[in-house]
Structure 1
Amino acid sequence: MSILLSTDLPFPVFRRGKVRDVYDLGKQLLIVASDRISAFDCVMPEGIPDKGRILTAVANFWFAATEDLVPNHFRGNAGWPAALEPYRSALEGRAVVVEKTRPMPVECVVRGYIAGSGWKEYQATGRICGVSLPAGLRLADRLPEPIFTPATKEEEGHDENISFERMAEIVGHDLALRLRDLSLALYRRGAELAAERGILLADTKFEFGLSDEGELILIDEALTPDSSRYWLADSYQPGKNPPSLDKQFLRDYLETLSSWNKQPPAPHLPAEIIEGVRARYLDLASRFGVKL
């Protein structure tokens, strides 16, 4: 199976992220989802076969399933610019042409269950991003209500969890309220549709941008296994990390490596870990009717 780790297209580079290569097409952007995978903010040396296509298809499913809640940047590929035609076969299934926006400088995280960095913060303070929570919660417990827990977007190093008040200082109070309300509505829609497919949406993050007209638009990706924590409902049990259909399988493996301090360079991945991640991503995609 071929793996795409990098692209080199004859268009101006808008930015290269941990997974996506973004090219500037003028009024639009071309987003190419590679097969790279990151954990603990480090990109692994090996990629995951088909990962870029899986992410693109799952994100497109969710853009369609939530467009009544908020507009998104996806504009479809039927009218690709002529300059892209020579590369269509290589880009098919992993690239989208989207509207260019001014990205918000924060990540909009929603948690319906307690896990990950939220669990660590709760153990230390009884709060997550300034939100007070009931005492005595266990790992993976469902929260009384989903909570909005924003984070900074760092070009290098780890994103930092921040309070809503700090977010309001960064983007303005009115915009912060809109981002919070939209994120919670999107999470509830995602959790509802996931539950119908036998999975729990534990948490997820959204990114938004402003159009030239000042419209708030959902951008980047939405509810993918890269940006979300999906648990199998039939084996969910509070008190421990449930089996998941996301990259927690990779994180769990990396946590066993006492020789790695979670700083670049990342360690090489064994074949069984690569295949384990791929199988989980494919399982998730199939539950949403996504076929490669």
Structure 2
Amino acid sequence: PDGLQLAEELPETILTPTTKSDTGHDIELSKGEALERGLVSEEEWRILEEATYRLYDFYRDEASRHGLIIPDFKIEYGRVDGELIQIDEPPTHDSARLWSKKHYRTGERQEAHSLDKEFLRDFLMRIGYTGEGPPPSLPPLLVEEVSKRCVGSYKVLTGQAAVDELNLMSVEEVLAKLARP
């Protein structure tokens, strides 16, 4: 929507269906395309759409109880014996953005206190890696920070820790420490 700031909550939840690609990123898929390709029936589309909204609300509320914001996540469905089921993990550091409610600021990037892979993406972007060519080797300090976020997402979502107990460093702090002789 017009006038939206960085990291601002959307006025309503948006569903952006995709399908797997043989290579590269997932491919956006409209309802019409899904029906035309015979991936789902009209009734199955309705069921999946309703289930996705309900799951998002549930996961968002659970995360909020533990001091996190889930602005978006991916959920995958498949079939087992013809029945539609959720086939992927619930929101994790790999499938969702997980932001700290305490440190959340509209108009700002959230990576400093996020418990997701955006921290690593931000680091790679800042050192100039665009995803082309072989990835750079990762310094142990960065691996430690990424690990804290992976394990931390589990601990925070299950109520075993609070975000502030994880002692996270921002990308700026990691880069500054790495620049020191």
Q: What TM-score comes out, normalization by structure 1 length?
A: 0.50
Q: CA deviation at 1:227?
A: 0.5
Off by >4 Å, runs of 4+ in structure 1: none
Q: CA deviation at 1:290?
A: 7.5
Q: RMSD in angstroms over aligned alpha carbons? A: 1.9
After superposition, the Cα gap between the structure-2 partners of 1:167 and 1:266, relative to the gap in structure 1 and judged at 3 Å, is farther
Q: How many residues align?
A: 156
Cα deviations across residues 175-208 of structure 1 (Å, max 9, x unaligned)? 2222221111111000000000000011111111
Q: Which residue of 2 aligns with 1:209?
A: 78
Q: Which residue of 2 aligns with 1:193?
A: 62
Q: Which residue of 1 aligns with 2:101?
A: 233
SS in 1 for 2:73: strand
Q: How does 1:173-184 map to 2 (within 5 A)?
A: 173-184=42-53
Highest RCO, 1 vs 2 (Cα 8 Å, sep ≥ 6): 1
For structure 1, the residue ranges without an aligned partner over 5 or more in a row are 1-133
Give 1 or 2: higher strand fraction: 1
Q: Retained in 1: the 8 A contact 2:97–2:114?
A: yes
Q: How does 1:273-288 map to 2 (within 5 A)?
A: 273-288=142-157
Pairing partner for 2:89 from 213, 221, 245? 221
Letter in 2 for 1:140: A
SS in 2 for 1:157: coil
Matched, 1:249 2:119: yes
Q: Retained in 2: the 8 A contact 1:191–1:201?
A: yes
Q: CA deviation at 1:270?
A: 1.3
Give 1 or 2: higher helix fraction: 2
For structure 2, the residue ranges without an aligned partner over 5 or more in a row are 161-181
SS in 1 for 2:13: strand
Distance in 2 between residues matched to 1:280 and 1:135, nearest whole Å: 33
Q: CA deviation at 1:273?
A: 1.4
After superposition, the Cα gap between the structure-2 partners of 1:244 and 1:169, relative to the gap in structure 1 and judged at 3 Å, is farther
Letter in 2 for 1:142: E
Cα deviations across residues 86-108 of structure 1 (Å, max 9, x unaligned)? xxxxxxxxxxxxxxxxxxxxxxx
Q: What TM-score comes out, normalization by structure 2 length?
A: 0.78
* Percentage identity across paired residues of the two chains: 37
Matched, 1:144 2:6: no
